[in-house]
Structure 1
Amino acid sequence: MNQTLSTTRPLFGQTAIVTGASRGIGRAIALALAKAGANVAVNYLTRENSAREVALHCRSYGSNAIAIQGDVTKKSDVTRLFKETSAQLGSVTLLINNAGIARSQLFLDTTESDWDQLMDANLKAPFYCIQEALPAMLQRQYGRIINISSIWGITGGSYEVAYSASKGGLIALTKALAKELGTTGITVNAVAPGAIDTEMIQALTEEDRARISADTPVGRLGTPDDIANTVLFLASPQTSFLTGQIISPNGGLLT
């Protein structure tokens, strides 16, 4: 892919889809990509006002951005998401599979419906999005696919067996697809965050938050910006030799 590299706007001329970008990590990723010059489709499920605010903030950096509603667990919605993005912003070169759900419960309390919901949101949705993105990326012989997994996808987490399995599956998808696409100019990587200060963590007691911070070697929770900065690195045109990797910003919790 030919483009003029800039130290301030290295993603100028590229188009990104960030799923689940109305809040938290997805929001931070969308803003970081826009600040680096990419046009951004801010995908959301229900939080329209928040998504529109993110898109407006993205445009303040001089990039084009739109908010697009879509349930990425539904193939028809994914097809529409890519069609609208391509029509309004250009062919997608950056795909960040961020949308997902978490659930903490005993394995024996996990119902078939619970299992299916987690697999659909955390594994099937990226499958749909990647399949939709690949034809245009293959035609260009360029693309960056970045999957947001979890530290529990690496280590497994008690009371989060189904969630860990879904995120571990996403890691396996990342590694295998990177090999399959190795010579195409398309890289596939995953980011596996540790404890990040999002709504899920904020719902915990102050005591639990302090305990998690103390257990993290750097002595604090991660921030959405910590994850966004990692995604920005992987999205760079200059990371063409980095593929099939699982990068875990976790403050030293896992080494």
Structure 2
Amino acid sequence: MAQQVRRRRLELGLSVQKFADICTEQYGLPLKRSVVANFEGGRRPALSVVELLVFARILAVPPSELLFPVGREDQIEILPGMPTDTWAALKWFTGESDRLPDDDEFTQDNQTVQLYRDHDRLITQWWANRGKLLSILSTFRDAELTKFRAEADPDAVDELRMRDARESMRSAEEGVQVIRGQMRGLGLTPPALGLESAYIEPESFEGATLDDLARTVSDVKRVSLHDAVREVYRRAAEPLPENYGNDTEGEKE
């Protein structure tokens, strides 16, 4: 780690004294020049957690990059006398892997990190497909653009693409619901949902009514307000307003 700190400090053009001054003056971590010099020179064997975080903040790198120099060193001594592949060590540290290579000891509970990563992945998938849907809609049935397209029936192609995007959004929404339920089952607090994706789990969103969320759904997914109301109320397990109770009613905008 000392080599990583020194390398990055030099890349930023910071002297040992300047680095120590920033620790003290900007981050409230009293640190003498000699402490930094001794650490980089191997005469001080370790950093405290607070020092690690402050160093990483000043050096503008993730703390994990100081601990695990992936791509710079093939192996590190993850535990005393235990050299380990650097990438494998990083995954164990972050909870992405439940054990180190060739190690019989394994982490009993690494589910939390996996759940949050899966949640991020599905939310990203939802937004990507939402962007795709809006992009298609922005040019849908545009006669000026259609004449430049090679497909025999551009509108039919766009209809298919929009259906695929909506199905992918729905799949991501269902996945997010499952994961958020698993998080709560473990006593965890799921990440906050912004207004535009809050209808995925309406009961968790404070600050908007179901009708507010329905209007957002209508705008985001480009569906009728009637359909959006039905979807939001269904997800919230609430009875539909009287004027939305009949499937045969005309759609309302």
Measured against the shorter chain, the TM-score band is under 0.3
Please give the TM-score of this superposition, normalised by the length of structure 2.
0.26
Bigger relative CO (Cα 8 Å, ≥ 6 apart): 1
Which structure carries more helix by proportion? 2
> More strand by proportion, 1 or 2?
1
Q: Which has the larger radius of gyration?
A: 2
